[in-house]
Amino acid sequence: MCPATRTGSRPAASPSGWPAPWWGHREREVTLNGTVPSYRQYLAAAAAARRVAGVTDVHNHLEVVLPPGDYRDDQALTTAADDALTLNETVRVGVEATAANGVITLTGTVPSGDERTAAELLVAGLTGVRSVSNDIQIRADADQPTSLD
């Protein structure tokens, strides 16, 4: 992963040899720049930055650059995402995925933010995902029983 940088500064190495973290233009803000090989690593980098004591905001400008063997065409990625959603018991029937150029878009309605987040995390780790656009709506009445007829 490439280092986070701050405007107007040159990266410096930490004692471990990895670039030291860089603060954004305001104190307590971190800006992540560079590339990572998967969307899961994109999310993990931001989560790690948020855990740093004193950080109040993280600007994630990392780019997911898939390794050559990890590219999937839109149809294959859509099928893999829909299968992951369908086979998992945490996400209810009616959440659907479509893929375009490695970007998965999730749509549907769920009763809670936890279920919405679970759907995103389910597809985030699929091979070929560059990002996820979570357009799932949250509605309290979405918890009505669904049928697989």
Is 58:76 a contact under the CB 8 Å cutoff? no
CATH 3.30.1340.30 residue ranges for the chain = 69-143
Cα distance between residue 28 and residue 39, in whole Å: 25
For position 20, what pLDDT does the model report?
46
For position 16, what pLDDT does the model report?
44
Residue 107 backbone dihedrals phi, psi, to 5 degrees = -135, 160
For position 44, what pLDDT does the model report?
94
pLDDT digits (tens, 9 = 90+) for 62-94: 999 999 999 999 999 999 999 999 888 777 778
Name the burial class of residue 109, with classes exposed (0-12), middle (13-18) and buried (19+) by CB atoms within 10 angstroms of its CB: middle
Cα distance between residue 110 and residue 87, in whole Å: 16
Question: Was domain 69-143 assigned CATH 3.30.1340.30?
Answer: yes
